[in-house]
A = this chain, B = another copy of it.
Amino acid sequence: MKALVYRGPGQKALEERPMPVIAAATDATVRITRTTICGTDLHILKGDVPDVAPGTILGHEGVGVVEQVGGAVSTFKPGDAVLISCITSCGKCEYCRKGMYSHCTTGGWILGHLIDGTQAEYVRIAHADTSLYPIPAGTDEEALVMLSDILPTGFECGVLNGQVQPGNTVAIVGSGPIGLAALMTAQLYSPAQIIMVDVNENRLAVAKTFGATALVNSGNEDPVAAVMKLTDGKGVDTSIEAVGIPATYSICEAIVAAGGRIANVGVHGHKVDLHLERLWSHNIALTTRLVDTVTTPMLLKTVVSGKLLPQQLITHHFTLDQVMAAYETFGNAALTKALKVIIRP
> Interface on A for B, CB 8 Å cutoff?
25-26, 71-72, 74-75, 91-92, 94-100, 102-103, 129-130, 161, 165-168, 187-190, 192-193, 213, 244, 249, 258-259, 264, 266-277, 279-290, 292, 294, 297-302, 304-305, 307
Minimum C-beta distance from A157 to chain B (A): 9
Copies of this chain per assembly = 4
* Structural contact, A264 and B283, CB atoms closer than 8 A: no
For the complex, give the distance between the alpha carbons of A229 and B152 in Å.
Answer: 30
Known contacts A274-B273, A304-B192: A285-B287 contact under CB 8 Å: yes
Q: Of B92, B130, B297, which one neighbours A74 at CB under 8 angstroms?
A: B92
Contacts of A272 in B (CB 8 A): 273-274, 276
Contacts of A161 in B (CB 8 A): 285
What are 12 A-B interface contacts by the 8 Å CB criterion? A26-B72, A91-B96, A103-B283, A166-B298, A166-B307, A188-B189, A192-B302, A268-B277, A271-B276, A273-B274, A283-B289, A285-B287
Minimum C-beta distance from A1 to chain B (A): 28
Q: Top 8 nearest A-B pairs by Cβ distance?
A: A167-B301, A192-B305, A281-B290, A274-B274, A72-B72, A91-B91, A268-B276, A167-B298
Minimum C-beta distance from A148 to chain B (A): 17
For the complex, give the distance between the alpha carbons of A168 and B304 in Å.
Answer: 12
Given contacts A91-B92, A102-B283, 13 further A-B contacts (CB under 8 A): A100-B258, A166-B188, A166-B301, A167-B302, A187-B190, A190-B307, A193-B305, A267-B281, A268-B276, A271-B277, A273-B274, A283-B292, A285-B288
Contacts of A264 in B (CB 8 A): 276, 280
Known contacts A25-B71, A91-B92, A102-B283: A249-B270 contact under CB 8 Å: no
Contacts of A95 in B (CB 8 A): 258-259
Known contacts A91-B130, A167-B298: A283-B276 contact under CB 8 Å: no
Contacts of A270 in B (CB 8 A): 276-277
Q: Of B190, B258, B286, which one neighbours A188 at CB under 8 angstroms?
A: B190
Contacts of A213 in B (CB 8 A): 305
For the complex, give the distance between the alpha carbons of A26 and B267 in Å.
Answer: 38
Q: Of B166, B189, B297, which one neighbours A94 at CB under 8 angstroms?
A: B297
Q: Of B26, B258, B268, which one neighbours A280 at CB under 8 angstroms?
A: B268
Contacts of A259 in B (CB 8 A): 95, 98, 100, 103
